[in-house]
Amino acid sequence: MAVSTVLFCDIISVVIKNKLLIIILGLLLVGSNGFWWNKEQEQMRVISVHDGDTFTLKSGERVKLLGTNAPELGNCLGDKATDKLKEFVDNKVIELKEEKRDTYGRRMGLVYVDNQLVNEQMLKLGLARPDYTANSQNDVLKAAYKEASDNGVGIHSNVCKKTNPTPPNSRCVIKGNIDKASWDKFYHLPSCRHYNQIVLDLDLGEGYFCSEKEAQAAGFHLAPDCLR
């Protein structure tokens, strides 16, 4: 009887030890998975913002907002767009959806922070234009852009969009304009047929030149309606 009791106790002891071992191994496994998951997630933290649509992750990779083009630094509202993107993503862990690569090898995608679509917010504030790269949120992005345009905010305001902004000086009256359909760059002389109708979008880098040579050096060509 005593032997049976000892044997029974030994069996119970082994079972308990095995259960403890299983529990410990399970905790280690969960902890390990959590460690790697947190490490991977941490690589998606934004460490620097370059302009209104591009930033760098802790992994070292650059990311551009998909379907969204903000003004370049130096153009109208370029600084404001950069500051606003910093508010949205700087030092935050982002979620990147529908990832693609652009011609520069950068990652592009729909960027979410706390379930908020940053691409949409930049367009809604009038601090970017859609580039219509295919994605599931194209309609959302178009609607955000239209809302900003209808409200006349950001790049849609008189700050950046002017029919006849004041030239830097009286001799610099050649208008540099970008065709929004083809993105071809044209310059218009005061004698050109549509000169007075040309609207300058300063956020795109459009503006005045002091000479045809200066316009050509910037990549602009004489507009078709100006051909002599």
Could you report the per-residue pLDDT of 100-129, keeping only the tens digit for each?
998 888 899 999 999 999 999 999 999 999
Identify whether 196 is part of a domain: yes
What are 53-70's pLDDT values in tens digits? 999 999 999 999 999 999
Total number of domains constituting the chain: 2
pLDDT at residue 1 greater than cutoff 60: no
pLDDT at residue 171 greater than cutoff 90: no
The whole-number average pLDDT for the span 170-185 is: 86
Domain stops at, among 156, 177, 192: 156
* Residues, the chain: 228
Is 75 in the same domain as 123? yes
pLDDT at residue 8 greater than cutoff 70: no
CA distances from 85 to 91, 99, 114 (A): 11, 19, 14
Query: Any idea what the Cα angle at residue 57 is, between residues 92 and 41, rounded to 5°?
Result: 60
Identify whether 22 is part of a domain: no
Q: Identify the domain containing residue 143 by its residue range.
A: 46-156
Q: Provide the pLDDT confidence category of residue 206 given band limits of 50, 70 and 90.
A: confident
Identify whether 201 is part of a domain: yes
What was the pLDDT predicted at 15? 46
Cα-Cα-Cα-Cα dihedral of 110, 114, 116, 119, to 10°?
Answer: -40
Is 150 in the same domain as 50? yes
User: Mean pLDDT over all residues of the chain?
Assistant: 84
pLDDT at residue 87 greater than cutoff 80: yes
- Helix, strand, coil content of the chain in percent (nearest 5): 40, 25, 35
Return the higher-pLDDT residue of 228 and 211: 211
What was the pLDDT predicted at 209? 92
Helix H or strand E segment including 109:
strand 107-113
CA distances from 103 to 106, 107, 164 (A): 7, 10, 35
Query: Any idea what the Cα angle at residue 169 is, between residues 182 and 79, rounded to 5°?
Result: 55
Identify whether 202 is part of a domain: yes
Return the higher-pLDDT residue of 4 and 138: 138
What was the pLDDT predicted at 169? 80
Query: Whose CA is closest to 131, among 88, 161, 102, 90?
Result: 102
pLDDT at residue 29 greater than cutoff 60: no
